[in-house]
Structure 1
Amino acid sequence: MHIVFFADQHLDSLGGAQVSMRLQRRFLERAGHTVTVVAPRMHGARPDAANPADLDLPSMPITTDREYSMSWPGRGTDRVLDRALASRPPVDLVHVQADFWGAFIGHRYAHRHGIPVVHTMHNRVDVGIQAVTPLHRPVLAALNIWRRTVLRGSGDGSDGWAFLRGLAAGASAVTAPSTHFARRLERHGVFDAVDVVWNGIDDDLRAATLAAAPEERTPGRPRFVWLGRMSPEKRLLPFLEAFVASGIDAELEIIGGGGQRSAAERIVAGMPNVRFAGRLSYPETLARLVAADALVQTSIGFETQGMTPFEAATLGTPSIISDPDIAAELGGGLWAVGDSLAETLRRAASDIAAGVAPVPLSSVAEDFRQSSRTAAMLAIYERVLADSGAQNT
């Protein structure tokens, strides 16, 4: 089977969706399938050599650090894409894992060629845009106008849910990376029955990470790690303010990059127990997670799954969770943040020091393996292709 992924951002760029898609591609290829990933060409530094499975579209940078870029959906991009894919094996299925230009380009391609679409919703568009601009309502209205212009017949409406409904209109199946997001999509009429398929962790890399980890906790004060993109919706700055206010004697490592790094460094300036590790490779990141006593996850309402607590849990590391939906999805092995993040940090540090930290559920480790996630997604692909074949006979 030849599956074409469509993404908003290149898979070598920073982000949870990109990590997930790289894993999906690897395990689909391991299962004998061909995967092509269509995404905007990167303009910043690339950490890895180009992958022949990548199909990079003409693009323009959209962030000052040149990490992220966009490709304009339209006839010019359509022609470039059609020429490039014509030299590859015939496409059996399109899997859109994008919310903006990548989604538009992918649905246009599928519609032109009569190919069925599976659409994975990675992003709560309304919350994400509200987090980065006070003008979220006119921005969403403009996005919906753009959607209706680029995707004819994709429905009316001007809010975030209307936008997602318009994208789902061209899909044969819609998946979401968490139960809470899937049910929310259904309640807002995005799709009648949304399949839940968690994002996963590389089985082999997980095993190697655990094998390399010490059997006993390394002595020392509590070790916290925060991981992610340094942007407003991730709430790094409020976390650092709470960390300072908590007064705990603990180490903190911050992994990732983004536009708020300078502001973050100012908050904890002069604190030798806080370290900014920058951007790390995926294996390095997992090694830091397994070595930590707790992961801190601070976004609220934005994450459709929140991969980092699941990655931590499958490595045996509990999390401090601000979002009640993510806490419920994990089911246990965590500190849920109540009214005060600072107080929760103090409670977690005390539990770690006393040796009574919560233990993540063993079921999470099993259900989060990428091999099981790929098997679940392949079942959806086969169902969609069977339905498509039945409709064409």
Structure 2
Amino acid sequence: MRIALVTDAWEPQVNGVVRTLQSVRRVLERQGHVVEVISPDRFHSLPCPTYPEIRLAMVRTATVGGLLARFAPDAIHLATEGPLCVAARRWCLRQRFPFTTAYHTQFPDYVSARSGVPAEWIWRYIRWFHAPAQAILASTPSIRATLVAHGLDQVRHWGRGVDLDRFHADIPPLAQIAALPGPRLLYVGRVAVEKNLEAFLACSHPGSKIVVGDGPARTALAAAYPDALFLGPRFGDELAQCYAAADAFVFPSRTDTFGLVMIEALACGTPVAAYPVTGPVDVLTPDVGAMADDLDAAIAAALTRDRGACAAYARQFTWEASAEQFLQALVPIAEVRSAA
């Protein structure tokens, strides 16, 4: 199958959306599918206000449409709600081509956290963007329920995976973290206001706090919490070693749709502490993590979990299964047009 994947989130961004798209693309291409990625790096772009790492493509509908027409896809997927996918959406509607979309991030909550704009105002845009899609792909039952509650009921499940060849219980711990006083409490992800990272850094549980990742809030948080170790971004085997060196992984976000980093930590045998919100409630079980409105209590409970059980639980999350769900949700253009 020839699959057009249009996305406003792509390299060099480092986040769960990009990692998901890259991982699924690799599996699909190994299976013989042809995946054409149309992303902001192919166009003139501007930095997103308050989030300069994200580039917003300045592109005309005809330009995106020309790329899609030349590729001649069997199916089209619009991964994000940014300007590039808006242009592709407009072209698809003009051509009467079906397309699928995905709800990767709690965009209304993110915008509200950064700007103070009421989240419901942003939901009007979300409904407009996704309403014409043949299917909206969502990673958890909680996100499905959220979309349905906002009038979007054409939802299909699209789970997430973990690279079990890289993230596993036998990975050696990173010496820099392992040398710190325990318990070693780790956060991995974007260092940004919507990740609620300050809740982790301000918690009173004893031990060492380690932050792996980068983002617009890093400088301010590092200055405010000098006792925490900010390692910056880590990738590949070194990232796996960070997970393996931690006694607990702390996930303070209240706005993520899934939390890919949680299953990476679990695959390395590291239990997870989190709030009982969308993402953690869909991913964690009592055997591998702990959730509480008091993050200190969640950390204390997570530290009692068995590392072997964590690693065994994570092995159910594979990118092969995720890619198959993605593939099954796609809507072939020829089928819809022949039925019209």
TM bracket, shorter-chain basis: 0.7 to 0.9
Once the two structures are aligned, what percentage of the paired residues are identical? 23
| Structure-1 residue corresponding to 2:216 | 259
| Structure-1 residue corresponding to 2:47 | 61
| Structure-2 residue corresponding to 1:360 | 310
Change (3 A) 1:112 1:211: farther
Alignment match of 1:180 (pick from 142, 145, 152) = 142
CA distance in structure 2 between the partners assigned to 1:364 and 1:391 by the alignment: 42
2:163 maps to a residue whose letter is: D
CA distance in structure 2 between the partners assigned to 1:96 and 1:364 by the alignment: 28
CA distance in structure 2 between the partners assigned to 1:17 and 1:24 by the alignment: 11
1:365 maps to a residue whose letter is: R
CA RMSD of superposed structures (Å): 2.7
Conserved 8 A contact 1:2-1:34: yes
The number of aligned residues is: 333
CA distance in structure 1 between the partners assigned to 2:278 and 2:13 by the alignment: 27
- Answer 1 or 2: higher relative contact order, Cα 8 Å, separation at least 6: 2
Conserved 8 A contact 1:318-1:359: no
| Structure-2 residue corresponding to 1:327 | 280
Conserved 8 A contact 1:318-1:358: no
Question: Which one is further off, 317-326 or 283-292?
Answer: 283-292
* Deviation of 1:222 (Å): 2.0
Change (3 A) 1:290 1:110: farther
| Structure-1 residue corresponding to 2:12 | 12
CA distance in structure 1 between the partners assigned to 2:333 and 2:95 by the alignment: 15
CA distance in structure 1 between the partners assigned to 2:224 and 2:271 by the alignment: 25
Conserved 8 A contact 1:334-1:358: no
CA distance in structure 1 between the partners assigned to 2:6 and 2:216 by the alignment: 25
Change (3 A) 1:387 1:294: farther
* Deviation of 1:287 (Å): 3.0
CA distance in structure 1 between the partners assigned to 2:268 and 2:91 by the alignment: 39
Conserved 8 A contact 2:266-2:313: no
CA distance in structure 2 between the partners assigned to 1:290 and 1:105 by the alignment: 43
| Structure-2 residue corresponding to 1:221 | 182
CA distance in structure 1 between the partners assigned to 2:62 and 2:29 by the alignment: 27
SS of the counterpart of 1:119?
strand
CA distance in structure 2 between the partners assigned to 1:335 and 1:124 by the alignment: 23
Q: Deviations over 1:169-227 (max 9, x none)?
A: 2211111011110121112211x241111122234434xx545447xxx7972222101
The question of 1:37 aligning with 2:20 is answered no
Change (3 A) 1:297 1:95: same
Conserved 8 A contact 2:269-2:308: no
Conserved 8 A contact 1:3-1:33: yes
1:280-299 aligned within 5 A: 280-299=234-253
Change (3 A) 1:336 1:107: same
SS of the counterpart of 1:317?
coil
- Higher radius of gyration, 1 or 2: 1
2:33 maps to a residue whose letter is: H
Conserved 8 A contact 1:236-1:298: yes
CA distance in structure 2 between the partners assigned to 1:384 and 1:81 by the alignment: 19
Q: Deviations over 1:88-134 (max 9, x none)?
A: x4111111110221331221232244432111111222211111122
Q: Deviations over 1:305-342 (max 9, x none)?
A: 1211122223332100114333321241112123x223
SS of the counterpart of 2:234?
coil
TM-score by length of 1: 0.76
* Deviation of 1:31 (Å): 1.0
* Deviation of 1:86 (Å): 5.0
Conserved 8 A contact 1:348-1:357: no
* Deviation of 1:346 (Å): 4.3
List alignment gaps of at least 5 residues for structure 2: none
Q: Deviations over 1:134-181 (max 9, x none)?
A: 2x13xx7xxxxxxxxxxxxxxxxx733332221122211111011110
* Deviation of 1:256 (Å): 0.8
Conserved 8 A contact 1:96-1:102: no
Conserved 8 A contact 2:164-2:267: no
CA distance in structure 2 between the partners assigned to 1:200 and 1:348 by the alignment: 22
1:306-317 aligned within 5 A: 306-317=259-270
SS of the counterpart of 1:324?
coil
| Structure-2 residue corresponding to 1:70 | 56
| Structure-2 residue corresponding to 1:376 | 325
| Structure-1 residue corresponding to 2:233 | 279
Change (3 A) 1:229 1:106: same
| Structure-2 residue corresponding to 1:103 | 85
Conserved 8 A contact 1:8-1:40: yes
TM-score by length of 2: 0.87
